[in-house]
Amino acid sequence: MTTLSLKEITCSFNQGDETLQILHGISFDINPGEIVALVGHSGAGKSTLLQIAGLLEPPTTGQVIMSGRDTAGLSEDERTALRNQYVGFVYQFHHLLPEFSALENVMMPQLIAGVSVADAKTRAHDLLAKLGLSHRVDHRPKKLSGGEQQRVAIARALANSPKILLADEPTGNLDYATSDVVFAEMMQLVRDTGMSALIATHNPDLAKRMDRIIEIKAGKMV
């Protein structure tokens, strides 16, 4: 069974009297444990495709099948529950909660999912340690460097052991050296857990380190 299947995905919206077509019949599968790069110029439709793949937005037409389940007829509550269970998100900007520590930020999605405080704390400590942040768990985001903040965001995305990680330029806001290190750590964590990943990036060197590359150009697969 594939982790994620996109079938003939289109996305369009009306702007005045015109219809803007963002995606044109995108189809591909991601298999368990596979890490796939999503590449393309800015405006090509990568972020829109990730939003659709993660059930944050419905496609105009087409099917999103997650772990064998067609999501087309689901209610918003059902989509939210499936998203929370199967998908982890990492964005270019970390979007951490500023009033909480690194540890609390990683605990939060677990607590929302009903995990006990003790188990959530243990899991958060473990993930942050694997990302080299054992000494920073009590620091709030403003006390962390950009690379450290993004490591916390990665740990948060993996906290509930999702089946697939969707990442939108996860190291795009970091300098080259930090980007390389953080990306390597993220890849190692994904490999170790056996989850799948779809990672949008402008960096061809990072894309080549993944299992497969899907290129989007003007809303179409190349």
Residue 27 belongs to a domain: no
Average pLDDT over residues 186-195: 89
pLDDT at 222: 84
**How many residues are given for the chain?**
222
| Full DSSP string of 17-40 | TEEEEEEEEEEEEE-TT-EEEEE-
Q: How many domains does the chain have?
A: 1
CA distance 58 to 96: 25
Residue 118 belongs to a domain: yes
Which pLDDT tens digit goes with each residue over 157-188?
999 999 999 999 888 777 888 788 888 888 88
Q: Which CATH number fits the domain that encloses residue 130?
A: 3.40.50.300
Average pLDDT over residues 32-53: 90
pTM, entire model? 0.89
CA distance 158 to 44: 27
CA distance 219 to 92: 21
Which pLDDT tens digit goes with each residue over 114-156?
999 999 999 999 999 988 899 999 999 999 988 899 889 999 9
Q: Which of 151, 211, 213, 220 is nearest to 181 (CA)?
A: 151
Average pLDDT over residues 64-84: 88
pLDDT at 15: 79
Binning pLDDT at 50, 70 and 90, where does residue 27 land?
very high
Strands (E), the chain: 4-15, 18-30, 35-39, 61-66, 69-70, 87-90, 164-168, 196-200, 212-217, 220-221
pLDDT at 73: 83
Q: Which of 142, 63, 132, 71 is nearest to 105 (CA)?
A: 142
Q: Which amino acid is at 93?
A: F
Residue 17 belongs to a domain: no
Residue 130 belongs to a domain: yes
Of 18 and 166, which is predicted with more confidence? 166
Residue 64 belongs to a domain: no
Q: What are 77's two structure tokens?
A: 């509550």
Residue 22 belongs to a domain: no
What residues does 214 pair with on adjacent strands? 38
pLDDT at 121: 96
Is a pLDDT exceeding 80 seen at residue 80?
yes
List CB contacts of 176: < 8 A, sequence separation 6 or more.
none
